[in-house]
């Protein structure tokens, strides 16, 4: 009996070793910090990536400034996608992301929206009296820290509307909050990205700002942890043809 047990052990150990070698190796998670306006499209991109590489993607969405500050304070992001170049540059200057590991990923447009059930007519002309065209508040992101808000201030200034509309602004923590205020009818007008406007049937785009009215809307992507091979692969996947097709479907303009 002792000889039999010893013989079985001699068979079992190599067999177990072989089975363990053949088991799929679990990949490390990838943590992505992405601008709030990317919520819908990144949900789809992440599912594609997880299915292809069997790697779990965890994503945090907020305004680009909030995410950049979190990274500065030690947030465990592997990849950062900002809604403007300024916050990526901020992290570059802090030596938290190197220029060699960043790319201009996407473009977008700035639009004025109204509740779909009660749209307000807006003419994109410096002679148009925007303030007199509606009653109530205009919602957009914070004009000092949230990218959509900064673009908005530039665009309103270019159109000579800034001074008259400034007292009626509701400045939100990110673009999706502004979108939701308009969708619920709490703000009769809002300024968001074109991609946000098409994400819900509750709002209608009533005007689109000229591209020369504000800084070009560019979404840079960068590696926070370039030594993480999974992060590198995800960063490269964002620039793949498969990912570009999804970005286009959601209204973004892939760059390069």
Q: Where are the domains of the chain?
A: 30-107+218-254, 110-213
The per-residue pLDDT of the chain, averaged, comes to 91
The domain made up of 110-213 has a fold known as D-Maltodextrin-Binding Protein; domain 2 (3.40.190)
> Any binding-site annotation on 64?
yes
pLDDT digits 0-9 by tens, 210-240: 999 999 999 999 999 999 999 999 999 999 9
d(CA 177, CA 139): 9
User: Is residue 63 a contact partner of residue 90, using CB atoms and an 8 Å limit?
Assistant: no
User: Is residue 140 a contact partner of residue 168, using CB atoms and an 8 Å limit?
Assistant: no
* Average pLDDT for 199-219: 98
> Any binding-site annotation on 37?
yes
pLDDT digits 0-9 by tens, 129-149: 999 999 999 999 999 999 999
Architecture of domain 30-107+218-254 in CATH? Answer: 3-Layer(aba) Sandwich (3.40)
> Any binding-site annotation on 175?
yes
d(CA 189, CA 182): 6
Q: Is the pTM of this model over 0.85?
A: yes
pLDDT for 24? 42
């Amino acid at each position: 009996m002792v000889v039999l047990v010893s013989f079985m052990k001699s068979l079992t150990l190599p067999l177990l070793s072989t089975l363990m070698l053949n088991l799929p190796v679990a990949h490390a998670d990838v943590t992505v910090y992405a601008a709030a306006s990317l919520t819908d499209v990144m949900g789809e991109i992440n599912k594609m990536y997880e299915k292809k590489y069997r790697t779990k993607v965890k994503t945090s969405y907020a305004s680009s400034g909030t995410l950049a500050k979190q990274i500065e304070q030690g947030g465990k992001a592997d990849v950062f996608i900002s809604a403007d170049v300024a916050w990526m540059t901020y992290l570059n200057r802090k030596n938290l992301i190197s220029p060699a590991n960043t790319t201009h990923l996407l473009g977008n447009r700035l639009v004025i929206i109204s509740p779909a059930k009660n749209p307000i007519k807006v003419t994109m002309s410096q002679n148009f009296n925007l303030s007199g065209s509606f009653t109530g508040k205009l919602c957009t992101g914070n004009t000092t820290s949230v990218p959509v808000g900064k673009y908005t201030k530039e665009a309103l200034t270019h159109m000579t509307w800034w001074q008259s509309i400034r007292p009626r602004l509701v400045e939100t923590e990110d673009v999706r909050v502004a979108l939701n205020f308009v969708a619920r009818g709490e703000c009769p007008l809002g300024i968001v990205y074109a991609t946000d406007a098409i994400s819900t049937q509750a709002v209608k785009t009533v005007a689109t700002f000229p591209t020369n009215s504000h800084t070009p809307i560019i979404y840079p992507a960068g590696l926070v942890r370039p030594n993480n091979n999974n992060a590198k692969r995800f960063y490269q996947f964002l620039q793949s043809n498969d990912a570009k097709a999804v970005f286009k479907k959601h209204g973004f303009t892939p760059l390069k």
